[in-house]
């Protein structure tokens, strides 16, 4: 039996309430544990640890690929999330789009300014 369960990266955010709302209301995660400046959120087998940090303590995001989540059906996920994704700024959502490296991806700008990417393996053409 494997000893590894999942990866649960920290996301440093300026406002924990805003981040929790984004992940729960927009992306469908659930809060499993909460402290005033910390929350553990999870959806299926994917978890994140949100940590509120003072602006001077936290590196700013640059919309880089920071959090990549492999999914079985990116179109199904997009259809589920689309009504809520439509409430985000226009440039905060990209895709789904086929990539040359054999992935179909949906990218969403996270509260820290980096990208959360949902990717599905596809056959290269």
Write out the chain in H/E/C secondary structure.
CCCCCCCCCEEEECCHHHHHHHHHHHCCCEEEEEECCEEEEEECCEEEEEEECCHHHCCCCCCCEEEEEECCCHHHHHHHHHHHHCCCCHHHEEEEEECCCCEEEEEEECCCCCEEEEEEECCCC
Pairing of strands 93-98, 115-121: unpaired
Q: Which domains, from first to last, does the chain contain?
A: 10-54+63-121 (3.10.180.10)
Task: Report pLDDT for 102.
Answer: 87
CB 9 within 8 A of CB 49: yes
pLDDT digits (tens, 9 = 90+) for 5-37: 788 898 888 899 999 999 999 999 999 999 999
CB proximity list for 20: less than 8 A, separation 6 or greater? 31, 34, 39, 41, 50
Q: Which residue has the higher pLDDT, 74 or 63?
A: 74
Query: Which residue has tokens 């990417």?
Result: 117
Tell me the percentage of the chain whose pLDDT exceeds 90: 62
Q: What is the pTM of this model?
A: 0.80
């Amino acid at each position: 039996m494997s000893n590894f369960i999942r990866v649960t990266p920290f996301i440093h955010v300026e406002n924990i309430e805003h981040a929790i709302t984004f992940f729960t209301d927009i992306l469908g995660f659930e809060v499993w544990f909460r402290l005033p400046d910390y929350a553990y959120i999870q959806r299926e087998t994917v978890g994140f640890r949100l940590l509120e940090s003072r602006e001077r303590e936290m590196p700013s995001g640059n919309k880089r690929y920071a959090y990549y989540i492999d999914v079985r059906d990116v179109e199904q996920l997009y259809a589920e999330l689309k009504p809520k994704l439509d409430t985000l700024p226009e440039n905060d959502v990209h895709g789904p789009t086929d990539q040359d490296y054999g992935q179909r991806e949906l990218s969403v700008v996270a509260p820290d300014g980096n990208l959360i990417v949902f990717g599905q393996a596809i056959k290269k053409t």
